[in-house]
A and B are shown apart, each in its own frame.
Chain A
Amino acid sequence: GQQLNQSPQSMFIQEGEDVSMNCTSSSIFNTWLWYKQDPGEGPVLLIALYKAGELTSNGRLTAQFGITRKDSFLNISASIPSDVGIYFCAGRYFSGGYNKLIFGAGTRLAVHP
């Protein structure tokens, strides 16, 4: 079945540093999504990518849809304490007559002031 490999599993960085995380798969996806989960809350969508090669920014966040459609990365520039949380990638694919999402295992980010 579909599988996503998300790395790194966790990161502990200093405030102001840039962060990079990525997801890879042996499968092709038609959409890549990046979600953030704050402690005690449900995930919230940060960025959606719809085309291979697409590079999209949302404030200090930048994400790219890999040209092979099998990978995506998320960069956070100049991290701040409120960036703390778990970041999930998700790939959307069509199967059994439905669009489905599969999630990576998450990257847990801790920011030291």
Chain B
Amino acid sequence: DVKVTQSSRYLVKRTGEKVFLECVQDMDHENMFWYRQDPGLGLRLIYFSYDVKMKEKGDIPEGYSVSREKKERFSLILESASTNQTSMYLCASSFKGDTEAFFGQGTRLTVV
């Protein structure tokens, strides 16, 4: 079974903190993605990566950065968390050129 694991299900952080969300996949997928999910807005792409050390901005990259030092791991970084970054964050991965993306369980982040 494909497994995409996000390090935390729930996180509460203070405004201004640096936050790391970690994602690991065990299927040797080339592609990895970070989305945020908000009610009424669906899933919006923050950043994606098609290879190690490679990253591309998605539709809403502002306030975020990413790191992909190893093929199986894709980290999302909030340099200085703000309350408008309170959301559900979903990591996904897929094979290169493949349509199906496999999602992790999500991390619900609350910034207070």
Q: Do A and B bind each other?
A: yes
> Which A residues are closer than 8 A to B by beta carbons?
1, 4, 6, 9, 31, 33, 40-45, 48, 50, 88, 90, 92, 96, 98-106
> Which B residues are closer than 8 A to A by beta carbons?
4, 35, 40-45, 48, 50, 56, 59, 90, 92, 97, 99-106
In the docked arrangement, what's the CA distance between A4 and B13, Å? 32
In the docked arrangement, what's the CA distance between A92 and B97, Å? 11
Which residues in A have their C-beta under 8 angstroms from that of B103? 42-44
Asked if A42 contacts B99 (CB within 8 A), the reply is no
Instruction: Name A's interface SS.
Output: strand
Highest count of chain B CB atoms <10 Å: which of A9, A43, A92: A43
Which residues in A have their C-beta under 8 angstroms from that of B42? 4, 6, 88, 103-106
In the docked arrangement, what's the CA distance between A31 and B99, Å? 8
Which residues in A have their C-beta under 8 angstroms from that of B44? 103
Asked if A98 contacts B50 (CB within 8 A), the reply is yes
CB distance from A8 to the nearest CB of B (A): 12
Asked if A41 contacts B99 (CB within 8 A), the reply is no
